[in-house]
Amino acid sequence: MAFWGNKMEGESPLPGEQAPIHLDGTLEEGYSEIVKSKGRAPGIDLAIKLSDLLLEHAVRERASDVHIECQGANLRVRFRVDGILQDMLSSPKNADIPLTQRIRVLAGFDPEPPASFRNEEGRFQKMLAGRAIQVRVSSFPTVNGEKLVLRVLDRQQLGLDLEQVGLDQDAMTLIKKLIRNPYGIFFITGSTGSGKTTSLYAILKNINTPMINIITLEDPVEYRLEGINQAQISAKSGFTWAEGLRTILRQDPDVIMVGEIRDFDTAEISLRAALTGHLLFTTIHTINSASIIERLFEMGVPPFLIGSSMLGAMSQRLVRKVCPKCSQNAAPPSEPVVNEFVKNMDPDEGKIVKELILKPGATYKVEKGCPECRSTGYMGRTGIFELMLMNEEIRKHILDHAPTDVIKRTAIRTGKMRTLLMDGILKARTGVTTLAEIIRVTATMV
């Protein structure tokens, strides 16, 4: 198997590695060029060329995931760009170009998939576009053949600075103050792929100094952060969230990041740690900021513990930014359309939303599509945020075991909380994105 080389860390070149890659055309064109040279070079060299070509294109197109599907006699490649899958390549499979085997070897797997189902996960690192890109590989045996998904972790795309995540000036000022509290717990919530891990990293990076001890518990550790002690959860070896937390608390921490809270033990230890002089950041799976409290109730956490340790919560989603090359100006929606849109909302919230949409002075945009954005009308993404800060009235509701909608209404009324939808509308008003995109992303929440 020396022929294949071993799992590659950094830049140890494999045979054929130095061959120039033609990136001028599309992936399809590059692929057919490689296919044309069949017979003139060993299959392995072509597979190396092809996997390099795929990854180069993935980085250039800002893809977060590359799906390689062998469906019967066909090879299909799709990229996830700005959260949406796009077809990149569809062609009869070339048995003489062993692409999947090449990627399996890079990921540290055996070249051929195991005969019986086994969960396979691996990773490798590669220099692409002048920087080290980490790739996490997952293999899945479908009835049609193996499916590989490559998660492309590009630090440059991620933007680990708090200034880059998409918070506006007001929210930024509040957050920066909040994350400098000496103790307490701050929650971030959002669906998978909402950018919450990025926000957590950006927060840690923002407060990181040699004078404080920051420890994280993660599953998995996605990025290595300089000067921060990161640990990986491993349920198999008994290093669970709760066990990890107990260990961390004996390591004299100032700041603790817990990747996720999903059970009573982890919740209780975290909240108690927040009461005893530690600052904690964590994520929890709920639909919005206010429902975090109900989720903690469900886990069995006593209200007094939540009320006395919680600093606040932030909910977030990623929205696509409208393509600056082809977007067009748009008139604001008519009042009847807006009335229809807000009619099922809480009346106070609906009133604010209506005013926000119709207030004069907006520069709304609508997407069109051009070669630059692959006819999608959008390019890149940014966050929308719902920041709920604790205050006396919310705390009182928590102690009364109040339901989510009461807490949400109170946060809007007394804390001037902007919901995800409101924050999104503000972004649409300035032409960063479109109202259609905001409605698409927040549709399940109103």
Nearer to Zn ion, 326 or 357 (CB): 326
Query: Pattern 398-437, binding to Zn ion, x per CB under 5 A?
Result: ----------------------------------------
- Binding residue for Zn ion (CB under 5 A) from 167, 242, 258, 373? 373
- Binding residue for Zn ion (CB under 5 A) from 29, 335, 372, 405? 372
- Part in contact with Zn ion (CB under 5 A); list of ranges 15-23, 128-136, 225-233, 326-334: 326-334
Q: How far is the CB of 156 from Zn ion (least distance, A)?
A: 22
Query: Pattern 274-313, binding to Zn ion, x per CB under 5 A?
Result: ----------------------------------------
List, edge to edge, every strand of the sheet that includes 310-322.
229-232, 214-218, 255-258, 279-283, 184-189, 310-322, 378-389
Contacts 24+ apart (CB under 8 A), 36-44: 38/94, 38/96, 38/97, 41/16, 43/96, 43/97, 43/98, 44/3, 44/4, 44/15, 44/16, 44/98, 44/102
- Part in contact with Zn ion (CB under 5 A); list of ranges 150-158, 319-327, 339-347, 420-428: 319-327
* Residues in 169-208 that interact with Zn ion by CB under 5 A: none
Q: How far is the CB of 327 from Zn ion (least distance, A)?
A: 7
Distance CA 97, CA 102 (A): 9
How big is the site for Zn ion, counted in residues (CB under 5 A)? 6
Contacts 24+ apart (CB under 8 A), 18-27: 19/45, 19/48, 19/49, 21/49, 21/52, 21/53, 21/56, 23/53, 23/56, 23/57, 23/60, 27/53, 27/54, 27/57, 27/77, 27/88, 27/89
DSSP secondary structure string for all residues of 66-123: EEEEEETTEEEEEEEETTEEEEEEEEE--TTS-HHHHHHHHTTS-SS--SS---EEEE
Please tell me whether residue 328 binds Zn ion under the rule CB under 5 A: no
Nearer to Zn ion, 341 or 378 (CB): 378
Q: How far is the CB of 79 from Zn ion (least distance, A)?
A: 17
- Part in contact with Zn ion (CB under 5 A); list of ranges 129-137, 339-347, 362-370, 433-441: 362-370
Q: How far is the CB of 234 from Zn ion (least distance, A)?
A: 44
Nearer to Zn ion, 244 or 431 (CB): 431
Cα dist. 157→141, 254, 371 in Å?
30, 29, 21
- Binding residue for Zn ion (CB under 5 A) from 50, 326, 390, 412? 326
* Residues in 53-92 that interact with Zn ion by CB under 5 A: none
Report the run of H or E that residue 440 belongs to, with start and end: helix 435-442
Q: How far is the CB of 366 from Zn ion (least distance, A)?
A: 12
Residues that bind Zn ion (CB under 5 A): 323, 325-326, 370, 372-373
